Amino acid sequence: VFDIVPGPEKGSFRVKARFLGVEMEEFLLKYQDLLQLQYEGVAVMKMFDKAKVNVNLLIFLLNKKFFKN
């Protein structure tokens, strides 16, 4: 399970990975980096060297959750 919460600065998100309720890892994700990957045509990125995430879908979900009007 990935928990995504707003990060310390605008356009950043703190991503926490949990497995069976135990927090495993955490890292800072920058929205600008996702947009750069999308621009470069990267379809899938690795998170925590264990999970693969669709870049376009992640951008869509972040927009839906955090940038609603």
SS (H, E, C) 1-57: CEEEEECCCCCEEEEEEEECCEEEEEEEEEHHHHHHHHHCCCCEEEECCCEEEEHHH
What torsion do the CA atoms of 8, 58, 43, 22 make, to the nearest 10 degrees?
80
CA count, 13 A, side-chain hemisphere, 37: 18
Task: Kindly give the confidence (pLDDT) of every residue in the chain, 69 residues in length, as a single tens digit, with 9 standing for 90 and above.
Answer: 888 999 999 999 999 888 888 888 888 999 999 999 999 999 999 888 878 899 999 999 999 988 875
- What SS3 class is residue 68? coil
